[in-house]
Amino acid sequence: MKNQSPGLYITEADQSAYTPAQSSAILGMVATASKGPVNELTLITDEASLIATFGQPSSTHIALLSAMGYLRRGNSLWFVRVAHYDATAQSVFKNVASVSVGTIDAVSSGSWANKVTVVVGTGTKAGTYKLTVKDNGTTVEVYDLLKVGAANVTDQNYLVTRVNGISNYISIVLTSVSESLKLETLSVLGGDDGVPVSASDYVGSAGSPPTVPATGLHLFDSAEAIDIDLLAIPGITDASVIAAGVTLAEDRGDCLYIIDTPQNLSVAEAVEWTDTTNLNSSYAAVFYPWLKVLNTATNENTWIPPSGHIAGIMAHNDTVQNIWDAPAGDPVGRLTDVQALEYSPTQGDREFMYGNGNVVNPIVSFRGQGIIVWGQRTTQRLPTARDRINVRRLLIMLKKSLGDGLRTLVFRPDNASTWQQYINICTPILAAVQAGGGLFATDSVNGYRVICDTTTNTVQMRQNGIIVGNILIVATKTGEVVALNLTTVNSITAFVEA
């Protein structure tokens, strides 16, 4: 602004920009369920919401027990229910002449609604009706003073207005405007879970949004649209599904895919399975064996895949430690709600699973300590820092944090001032990680370096409108082997020599 007359002119400059903290251990899960929306992203933050939305876990839907295992430690679950030829339970609505005027539909497909009944009765005020919704004989919802008929379509107590979008159990579809309702008890029947689903249901389709929506795993395609740090498809070990999950994690570049081995495998078979499945990515990790947990809905012990509980351990790790710390070992890796393992790998087993280029993370039952996650390898075969989960999750966190900050430089002038802003954005984030132990430094040398100058921004880069910065880091490795050396000496005087 150019000022033409004398006076005091005050302006503001904001140099207080910072990058907000990133949420961690957000889990994306694709699974079957007995109820709930199909092929939609649903945010679940606690076990009660999970059960209310997607129904009780069962032997058919054991992934819900995996989801519960995560929710006992974490609180951000994006759940996608998949189904194959699922059906919605329904009942016919009639008028006093027993002529159909519409239907009562379950709010979502699945067998869950086959125990729902709706009692159509008279309201507490003359000329009105009352709907009593029961689940397995227990009253769960009551709608009183309901009105019907053409004269009441715009009334706030109109039948459809009061029920649809409010009920957790039913919705009403009227095919004609009725002036009356038949007083009766209606059974909502015909719901079908649509299981078993196929591998293609889990993988889904990218669709053609917004006309044709994405389904299955493809609902997580866009890192800009949906934020996740972890991905799981509990118990699904089909090679095509696993390949799709790994590809998704790599393409996003910001999440770790937690993979289950098939049930009832020996240690040798589990290792062979990872080889035949061609697992080799720092964006994936495999855990063995399956876990026995209590299904509180049926009060029965059930074998489930470990992926949900592993995600819960990572959420717990991020609460009590840092995202760059290993989510394994005692006490962080202790599974407190697991009753038993299919098999507890011995020391020899663990040497085979974890060494020699093998990539299976063992879960072990230690006498007196409990059941503990005892590995944190990614499936990357090449021996670099990225073959460890803590390093991969550190890099994911840095990409998100640094990316959010550096996005503010898009469309800025490609000059030394912007390059310095690049450095200024990155430095405090890296310094904080280093202070927390995520980057290895000495007294004289930092564990990171940010370069954004003429060496990275060449003439060719500037002509193409590209700003380039290089960030070098030394990730802190975890101590996975702790040695205890005991030395006996002949006398106290020998201590000095020893």
pTM of the model: 0.84
Q: pLDDT averaged over consecutive 10-residue blocks of the chain (498 residues)?
A: 68 57 82 92 96 91 96 96 88 91 92 93 94 95 94 93 94 89 94 82 90 94 95 97 98 97 97 96 98 91 97 96 94 95 97 92 96 97 94 93 91 92 93 92 89 92 91 85 70 60
Domain match, 201 and 64 both: yes
Tokens of 312: 């819960």
126: CATH: 2.60.40.4290
Domain match, 249 and 204 both: yes
pLDDT at 153: 92
Domain match, 94 and 79 both: no
Backbone angles phi, psi at 169, to 5 degrees: -125, -40
pLDDT at 351: 94
Is residue 397, in this structure, part of any structural domain at all?
no
Distances (CA, A) of 400 to 22, 133, 397, 480: 7, 46, 5, 27
Is residue 8, in this structure, part of any structural domain at all?
no
Domain match, 207 and 351 both: yes
Is residue 356, in this structure, part of any structural domain at all?
yes
CB 447 within 8 A of CB 473: yes
pLDDT at 64: 97
The residue type at 75: N
Angle between helices 307-320 and 63-71 (to 10 degrees): 10
Domain match, 314 and 226 both: yes
For residue 289, say if its preceding peptide bond is cis, omega within 30 degrees of 0: yes
pLDDT at 478: 82
Domain match, 228 and 373 both: yes
Residues facing residue 471 across a β-bridge: 450
Distances (CA, A) of 445 to 37, 120, 420, 430: 53, 77, 21, 14
Q: How far apart are CA 143 and CA 260, in angstroms?
A: 45
Is residue 11, in this structure, part of any structural domain at all?
no
Domain that residue 74 falls in:
27-83+196-389
Domain match, 341 and 278 both: yes
Is residue 14, in this structure, part of any structural domain at all?
no
Domain match, 212 and 255 both: yes
Domain match, 238 and 100 both: no
Last residue of a domain, one of 132, 167, 187: 187
Q: How far apart are CA 330 and CA 70, in angstroms?
A: 18
Is residue 403, in this structure, part of any structural domain at all?
no
Tokens of 299: 């009060």
Is residue 40, in this structure, part of any structural domain at all?
yes
Tokens of 453: 């100058």
Backbone angles phi, psi at 54, to 5 degrees: -120, 5
The structural domain count of the chain equals 3
264: CATH: 3.40.50.11780
Distances (CA, A) of 361 to 99, 220, 350: 63, 25, 8
Domain match, 99 and 151 both: yes
Backbone angles phi, psi at 87, to 5 degrees: -135, 150
Is residue 404, in this structure, part of any structural domain at all?
no
Secondary structure of residue 202 in the 3-state scheme: helix
Domain match, 98 and 234 both: no
Last residue of a domain, one of 137, 153, 187: 187
Domain match, 362 and 228 both: yes
Q: Give burial (CB, 10 Å; 0-12/13-18/19+) of 274.
A: buried
Secondary structure of residue 201 in the 3-state scheme: helix
pLDDT at 444: 83
Q: How far apart are CA 383 and CA 399, in angstroms?
A: 22
Last residue of a domain, one of 157, 187, 217: 187
Angle at 336 between CA 331 and CA 341, to 5 degrees: 105
